[in-house]
Amino acid sequence: FTNIHKDWVRTLAFSSNGKYLATGSGDKVIALIEIPNFTRVHRLENYHTSSVLTVNFSADSRYLVSGGADKKVNLFSVYSQQLLMSFADIHQGSVNTVVFSPNGKYLASGSNDLSVNIIDIENQRVLKQIPDAVSYTHLRAHETGRNLVCRLLLEKK
């Protein structure tokens, strides 16, 4: 269980089903580690061209999303480790945080370009871009009836 990354780990997340740990590193690699035995490691390589800064699982543990210093947001199937969609042009800066809506229909991504994007997964398009004058370091998604609400934890400049 060594030599998974060649650079320091910048982000990690556990799947809600307890079967996986995902890590992202400055080496541009996402590692998908099967737990609790830690004997199987899937390396998701060549999907980011710079450091992987954030990873997160969907609530049902079927999908993994990543964001990086290359301004990309990537969505993967956990079971097949295949890339399902990629957005390379929705942010002007590093993607620092990504989160799924609880129902798994939407993604939110936050960037140091001072924006948050809400992505419709099924239709593979950005529904809304929210500009602001702060850097988003963390997002949490909550559903209230028909609305998706993102709580933003802000880093003051």
Res. 40 pLDDT band, cuts 50 70 90: confident
Output Rg (C-alpha) for the chain, integer angstroms: 15
For 6, residues 6+ apart whose C-beta sits below 8 A from its C-beta are 25, 27, 29
Report how far residue 90's alpha carbon sits from residue 93's, in angstroms, rounded to the nearest whole number. Answer: 9
Q: What is the mean pLDDT of residues 5-33?
A: 93
Please write the tens of the pLDDT for every residue from 102-127: 889 999 898 888 888 999 999 999 99
Q: Give yes or no for a contact between 131 and 113, defined as CB atoms under 8 angstroms apart.
A: no
Report how far residue 99's alpha carbon sits from residue 142's, in angstroms, rounded to the nearest whole number. Answer: 10
Amino acid 58 reads S
Amino acid 69 reads A
Higher pLDDT, 95 or 137: 95
Q: What is the mean pLDDT of residues 128-145?
A: 58
Res. 38 pLDDT band, cuts 50 70 90: confident
> What is the H or E stretch that residue 106 is in?
strand 106-111
Place of tokens 């998604």: 141
pTM of the model: 0.84
Q: Give yes or no for a contact between 101 and 141, defined as CB atoms under 8 angstroms apart.
A: yes
| Alpha carbon of residue 13 to chain centroid | 9
Nearest residue to 42 via CA among 59, 60, 51, 55: 55
